[in-house]
Amino acid sequence: AHIGPLDAAGRGSLHQRLARGMRDAIERGIVRPEEALPAERDLATEFSVSRITVRKALDALVADGLLVRRQGAGTFVAGRVEKQFAKLSSFTEDMAARGRSVTSQWLMQLEGAVTPDESLMLGLSPGAPVYRFRRIRFADELPMAIEHSAVPGFALPGADAVGESLYQALEEAGHRPTRALQRLRAVLFDTEQAALLGVEPGAPGLFIERRGFLEDGRAIEATKSWYRGDAYDFVAELSAR
Count the site residues for ligand 16G by CB under 6 A. Answer: 14
Asked whether the beta carbons of 6 and 53 are under 8 A apart, the reply is: no
- Shortest distance, position 139 Cβ to ligand 16G, whole Å: 11
Kindly state whether residue 140 participates in binding ligand 16G, applying the rule CB under 6 A. no
Binding ligand 16G (rule: CB under 6 A), the pick from 53, 75, 90, 193 is 90
Kindly state whether residue 222 participates in binding ligand 16G, applying the rule CB under 6 A. no
Calculate the CA 57 to chain-centre distance.
Answer: 23
CB-based burial label for 150 (10 Å; 0-12, 13-18, 19+): buried
Kindly state whether residue 221 participates in binding ligand 16G, applying the rule CB under 6 A. yes
Secondary structure in 3-state letters for 54-79? HHHHHHHHHHCCCEEEECCCEEEECC
Kindly state whether residue 208 participates in binding ligand 16G, applying the rule CB under 6 A. yes
Q: What residues have CB less than 8 Å from 16, skipping those under 6 apart? A: 10, 57, 60
Nearer to ligand 16G, 16 or 103 (CB): 103
Asked whether the beta carbons of 69 and 80 are under 8 A apart, the reply is: no
- Shortest distance, position 234 Cβ to ligand 16G, whole Å: 8
Binding ligand 16G (rule: CB under 6 A), the pick from 152, 210, 226, 228 is 210
Kindly state whether residue 149 participates in binding ligand 16G, applying the rule CB under 6 A. yes
Q: What single DSSP character describes residue 36?
A: B
- Shortest distance, position 29 Cβ to ligand 16G, whole Å: 27
* Window contacting ligand 16G (CB under 6 A); options: 1-9, 12-20, 62-70, 84-92: 84-92
Kindly state whether residue 225 participates in binding ligand 16G, applying the rule CB under 6 A. yes
Per-residue exposure over 26-63, b if at least 16 CB sit within 10 Å of its own CB, e if not: beeeebeeeeebbebeebbeebebeeebbebbbebbbe
Q: Which residues bind ligand 16G (CB under 6 A)?
A: 90-92, 147, 149, 165-168, 208, 210, 221, 223, 225
